[in-house]
Amino acid sequence: MKRNLYLLLAALLAGTAVLGTLGGCAGKGSDQGIDNEGNVIPSDTKTIINFWGWADRYEEAAFNELVAEFNKEYEGIIEVRYTPKSSSGYDDNFVVNMVGGPDVAYAAENYFKQYVDQGVLYDISEYYEQSVAYWETSGGQNGLDEADMLPYTTDRYRYDPVTTTSNADDPLYGIAKDLAPTGIYFNTTFFEAAGIEIVSETEQSIEEWNAAHPDDKKKIMAFYEEDGQYYFNKSIAMSWQECVDLSRKLMEDGGADYGFFSEWWFNYGWSVGGDCIEYIPDDDEAFTGNADEFNGGYYEFTLGDSTKNYIVRDDAGPITVNNTVYGPGEIVSYTDKDDLTDEQKASCNELPSQREAFTEFVRLSQDAGKVLDNVEGVYADVSDFYGAEADGDITGYGITPKPNEMSENKNAYFSSGKVAMLVSTASVQRQFTDNMAAGSFDVAPMLVYKEYSEDGTEVLVHGEQAAHSGSVAIVMNANTRYPNASWLFMEYIASKEGQTIQAQQGFACPYYKSLAYDEDGAFLNSQYAADNAIVFAQATAYETPGDWWYLRDKEWIDDWARVLNTDVRNGTRTLSYFYTCPQYQATQELLYAYTRR
């Protein structure tokens, strides 16, 4: 990377003028200036940038290398001093520590909006925009290649504190350190013990085979039995029912204590178009009751929304609802689905509601056969509710450990052999490589809602691929004296070179398509990568931040989530109780406060 700084052009004086410095953080020297061609004009003294971030030994090694490479490139001009921090108390003390603290730091994605509201983060929008523009005009010699970036990389760190939105044109306050997509890890020893053969064939290749061989079709399922032999296709996403059936097989015949564990409901709800909150704009005619009270719109608490969702059939043409066009395979939004005409519904497949999806998640840890809810009256016919028995009872599966049964964190629970399948992030591949026997784990895609033909050779109805990815922001202190030099370092972390250094250590998925999908690249070819690590690269195309990221803090989540993750998932309270408990009932009023004028 050349020593260029090509931003804040409006702040430049004529010709070779040097940018002024801002008051704030401790450090030596002055900021670096630039000329009107974007070249660094070194100041009289070297700029010292202080950089803080929490790290385990793997991440610390990666950033020691990254900082060393940056300092070598900018020797005598900029020096970054890296201070690894403990994650304990980091978030709670972030605002205080930014006073006289680092110029550049990590910020957890679930807190960064709160930090923006508190005025401690620098708006880097102009820096980023100039960097992207320079990549294009310089022919890829410098700057950031936005066209090659994976989706949901940049916008997750945009935020407008007035509207509380994170749209593509909202201010940018951080840049992703990396992405941590989720997948389903599986312990191959349990599969072997259960007599399950692991295969790998894509859905597309099976569809092509079936089209060419109508009398000899292959099953397009992820878990199936054929001529007495059980198979697991690690390249195809399981349906909800397949996950339950496979988990039971692994427990009954493979010797696993539990078949499956996920601490997140997101994948279930998002796959069918549901969510825990939905943004209602002021101008939405269906929701006009309190519109004048809010800045732009407000949030509706929809965790228990029982209205069915709709997805345009793959073989149907596009439909238009309230001026929004939905193409084949797209789910109609929360604010539009009530306005679907009967004719438009005929072009769609019906999907379960958010409530049905959320119920399916809660069933995982409930004892097999134990009633956790009765849904009589939700629909005209209880058979319309996914998984309901004839009397409306919803019972548990008993395939997932209860939270109070886990004496160690979920990753250790998997690596020690207590659960056969685990939903976790790409960042723990190295941990499993270090702690498990060679070849004893691999990874498969996240679940997708599906309905199959009777012979399992055709997908009749499906939801969207959906799940969450984690991320950490690299942010600039609002009071740094060295914004130009600080951005150069932030940009280096976000560059293809910086992303490659992190990927080599086996804990980070780079957020450039050309790197993430490169079979010979640092991520897929890492000695720590699972055999099927391409699943993580593919997941970055559709995985989004979790609910902790939606708003500036988690006050609207904490109370109901505490009841869910203790009483309900531990089996001491039912879902029927959950929907009527004070914590759940109080959530809507808490949500109104975020956008109320």
CA distance 429 to 414: 12
pLDDT tens-digit series, residues 479-508: 999 999 999 999 999 999 999 999 988 778
pLDDT tens-digit series, residues 254-300: 999 999 999 999 999 999 999 999 999 875 544 445 556 888 889 99
- Classify strands 40-41 and 393-395 as parallel, antiparallel or unpaired: unpaired
Q: In sequence order, what E strands does 405-520 have? A: 419-425, 441-444, 450-452, 459-462, 469-476
Backbone angles phi, psi at 310, to 5 degrees: -135, 140
CA distance 130 to 128: 5
SS3 260: strand
pLDDT tens-digit series, residues 422-434: 999 999 999 999 9
Tokens representing 405 are: 């049964």
SS3 178: strand
SS3 186: strand
CA distance 547 to 468: 9
pLDDT of 295 reads 83
pLDDT above 90: residue 28: no
CB contact set of 288 (below 8 Å; sequence gap of 6+): none
| Total residue count of the chain as it appears in this document | 597
Q: What is the pTM of this model?
A: 0.92
pLDDT above 70: residue 9: no
pLDDT above 70: residue 443: yes
The angle at the Cα of 304, spanning 301 to 305, to the nearest 5 degrees, equals 80
pLDDT of 29 reads 57
Helix (H), strand (E) at residue 435: helix 429-435
pLDDT of 2 reads 44
pLDDT of 13 reads 30
Nearest CA to 480 out of 42, 41, 32, 91 is that of 32
Burial (Cβ within 10 Å: 0-12, 13-18, ≥19) of residue 298: buried
**Helix axes 483-494 and 57-73, enclosed angle (nearest 10):** 120
pLDDT above 80: residue 33: no
Dihedral angle, C-alpha 146, 150, 155, 157, nearest 10 °: -100
Give the chain's domains with CATH numbers. 9-181+468-548 (3.40.190.10)
User: Mean pLDDT over residues 31-46, rounded?
Assistant: 70
The number of beta carbons lying within 10 Å of the beta carbon of residue 553 is 14
Characterize 32-44 residue by residue with b for buried, 16 or more Cβ atoms within 10 angstroms of its Cβ, and e for exposed. Answer: bbbbeebebebbe
In the block, which residue shows the tokens 């493979």?
254
pLDDT above 90: residue 12: no
Q: In sequence order, what E strands does 438-575 have? A: 441-444, 450-452, 459-462, 469-476
Tokens representing 332 are: 């109609």
pLDDT above 70: residue 14: no
Tokens representing 283 are: 């101008």
CA distance 294 to 593: 9
Burial (Cβ within 10 Å: 0-12, 13-18, ≥19) of residue 563: middle
Share of the chain above pLDDT 70, in %: 92
CA distance 549 to 526: 30
H helix runs in 253-321, sequence order? 266-271
Helix (H), strand (E) at residue 61: helix 57-73
Tokens representing 259 are: 């078949």
User: Mean pLDDT over residues 390-407, rounded?
Assistant: 95
Q: Where is pLDDT greater, at 589 or 27?
A: 589
